[in-house]
Amino acid sequence: MLVVGASAGLGLGRALTVPFDLVGSLRVAALPVSLVLGVALALWLVRVRRRAAARNQARAWAIEAVTACRQRVEHEIAAALVAAEAAAGLALVREMDRRSGTVRAPDASN
């Protein structure tokens, strides 16, 4: 990352100092200005890319954490719905038996 930032920074610094080369008296200052601008831009690019990489890592971690939490909540909700459905079904069968007057043998699974 450092090499790419340095090369891009130096390239941009050189591109910004091209007008100095066109003026004869400023041609001597073009190289030092190009180097200073290049180093400054390289440091800035490296910092921006590090920040972007850190942001992407944080985003990926947050997505994983939210996904894990969502899965836990969905599992708990599904388990509660299955338990509620079983309880409602059992209550319905008992109520129908009570109304019809039939008595069933207790089921071993209940």
d(Cα 59, Cα 68) in Å, to the nearest integer?
Answer: 14
Least confident window among 2-11, 31-40, 69-78, 92-101: 2-11
Domain assignment present for residue 107? The answer is no
Mean pLDDT confidence for 2-27: 66
Radius of gyration of the chain (CA): 36
Q: What is the pTM of this model?
A: 0.53
Domain assignment present for residue 105? The answer is no
Least confident window among 24-28, 32-36, 68-72, 87-91: 24-28
Instruction: Give residue-wise pLDDT tens across range 39-90.
Output: 888 888 889 989 999 999 999 999 999 999 999 999 999 999 999 999 999 9
Domain assignment present for residue 20? The answer is yes
Per 3-state DSSP, the chain is made up of helix, strand and coil in percentages (nearest 5) of: 90, 0, 10
Domain assignment present for residue 110? The answer is no
Number of domains in the chain: 1
Q: Which of the pair, 14 or 72, is modelled with greater confidence?
A: 72
Structure tokens that stand for 66 in this block: 């939210």
Residue for token pair 């590090």: 50
Report angle CA 75, 76, 82 to the nearest 5 degrees: 90
Domain extent for 21: 2-100
